[in-house]
Amino acid sequence: MKNPLDPSLRRFAFALCFTVAPLLAADASGLATRPAVREALAYIERVEPETLNEQVRLCEIPAPPFGESVRAEYYRKKFVELGLHDVRIDSEGNVLGFRPGRAGGPLVVFDAHLDTVFPADVSTKVTREGTILKGPGIADNCRGLTVLLTVARALQQSRIATDATIVFVGSVGEEGLGDLRGMKHLFGKELAGRITHFIALDGTGLGAADGAVGSYRYRVTFRAPGGHSYGMFGLANPIHALGRAIEKISNFTVPDSPKTTFNVGRIEGGTSVNSIAHTVSMEIDMRSVGAKELDATDAAFRAAIAAALKEENEFWQKHARNPRARLINSRSPVTADIERIGTRPTGRTADDAPILQAVRRADAALGIKSSFSPGSTNSNTPISLGIPAVTLRTGGDGSGNHALDEQFDSKDSHLGTQRAFLALLEVAGVVP
């Protein structure tokens, strides 16, 4: 996501807000004009080059799905250095560090996910060229992780006291088959019933995600006895059944609004070129911001699998000449197991929710035009539980997320860090 303001304009607006902030935005809380906050914002801008160095260091520590522990340990040490309280790694692998607020006050989680989509054998070496940083995971989510550390440092140095207790979290399992396991543990066990607000740092640009793109993910395994491709010609074929299913799925029509998508992302199976396979599987991901539309796509998917099985089995019941194949087809037709491997609920934070108002105030103070759109992030979990949540993009400009040529343009990226800092203060409340 790009900042809609031209950079020179943005800088102008930024300079302006420090002199005449109250004029800039009617709903500004005036937080950004307090001396301690102004100093912290200036500090964040000054140390942005070091923030970028940290982004590179973090990114070069591999954190494949279900393998985040080395990066988690590095992150834990950083939390200790920052002087956070009760620093620990929970039983799921999330790193937690507390900054106490008023006793009995709200509890704000400030989170960035540790994991990448890349397997352990992908090189995590980062290269730099001018303002561009290149490397798998450099934007998603090494940027979020580093912004979190700089915000925590700025807050610690400023000695600003907040009403809310802030829990800084480096979480596991945001990507792919991680299926938000870090969040499910945090909200379901570790801090169950205690979290009042949630802010995630994920993605680049200066937008924010206020809605949860829901998704259903399945692994479908087609099975049959299988046999020799020549000798047992006429057997119903699991790979052919899978092909029929994909053909149907690839013809789905889905609405643009609410945006609804589907993708068969992996297929796996077969025995050899001269075998009728006994097993083959595929993984499919369906997403929508609309619960109704997601369920409709899900129903179409299930119908496609059923129809593909029926077609493949009926075809060979009709056309098989080999009597043994006919017998096997009648006794053991191709079957399909549908296994759910991921669920992300849909939902939306109300437009007038105080947490979004807080982000708007931070944006206004920094001359950023607020823009919200739905996303698929750690905020999905709290949103589905009715807990106020927002995911902040973290500045700069990323491209090639989840691809090996992922890159991050750090031009004016300090704005993302400043916005995260101010938004956190707006949500956590500053003690006068």
CB nearer Zn ion, residue 313 or residue 378: 378
Min. distance of Cβ 15 from Zn ion in angstroms?
Answer: 32
Query: Total binding residues for Zn ion by CB under 5 A?
Result: 3
Would you call 110 helix, strand, or coil by DSSP?
Answer: strand
Position 140 contacts Zn ion (CB under 5 A): yes
Q: Where are the alpha helices (DSSP H) in 125-202?
A: 142-158, 181-185
Interacting stretch for Zn ion, rule CB under 5 A, among 82-90, 138-146, 230-238, 413-421?
138-146
Closest separation in Å from C-beta 202 to Zn ion:
4
Report angle CA 395, 203, 66 to the nearest 5 degrees.
Answer: 140
When the beta carbons of 302 and 402 are compared against Zn ion, the nearer one is 402
Query: 165-171 and 260-269: which strand pairing?
Result: unpaired
**DSSP secondary structure, 58-94, as one string:** HHTS---TT--HHHHHHHHHHHHHTT-EEEEE-TTS-
CB nearer Zn ion, residue 106 or residue 178 = 178
Question: Which residues, numbered 321-380, are part of the site for Zn ion (CB under 5 A)?
Answer: none
Q: What is the strand order of the sheet 214-223 is part of?
A: 260-269, 279-288, 214-223, 335-344
Window 167-206: contact mask with Zn ion (x via CB under 5 A):
-----------------------------------x----
Number of Cβ atoms within 10 Å of the Cβ of 315: 16
Measured from the CB atom, the residue of 174 and 190 that comes closer to Zn ion is 174
We find the least distance from the C-beta atom of residue 174 to Zn ion, in angstroms, to be 6
**Looking at beta carbons only, is 111 or 202 nearer to Zn ion?**
202
Least distance to Zn ion, CB of residue 138, Å:
12
Enumerate residues 201-230 that contact Zn ion by CB under 5 A. Answer: 202
β-strand partners of 96 = 88, 169
Closest approach of Zn ion to the CB of residue 31, in Å: 28
CA distances from 151 to 155, 196, 201, 374, 415 (A): 6, 20, 11, 24, 12
Three-state DSSP class for residue 127: strand
Shortest gap between Cβ of 383 and Zn ion (angstroms)? Answer: 16
Q: Name the strand (E) or helix (H) holding 223.
A: strand 214-223
Residue nearer to Zn ion on the CB measure, 137 or 333: 137
For Zn ion, give the closer residue by CB, 313 or 394.
394
- Select from 40-48, 103-111, 136-144, 330-338 the region that touches Zn ion (CB under 5 A): 136-144
- Based on CB atoms, which residue is closest to Zn ion, 54 or 175? 175
Among the listed ranges 40-48, 141-149, 234-242, 327-335, the one in contact with Zn ion (CB under 5 A) is 141-149
Residue position matching structure tokens 């005449």: 20
CB of 113 to Zn ion, least distance (A): 6
Q: How far is the CB of 377 from Zn ion (least distance, A)?
A: 6
Choose the stretch contacting Zn ion; rule: CB under 5 A; options: 8-16, 140-148, 235-243, 288-296: 140-148
Q: Which region holds residue 66: left if phi is over 0, alpha if psi is between -120 and 50, else beta?
A: left
Rg (CA), the chain: 25
* Residue partners of 397: CB distance under 8 A and separation at least 6: 2, 204, 205, 408, 409, 411
Interface positions with Zn ion (CB under 5 A): 140-141, 202
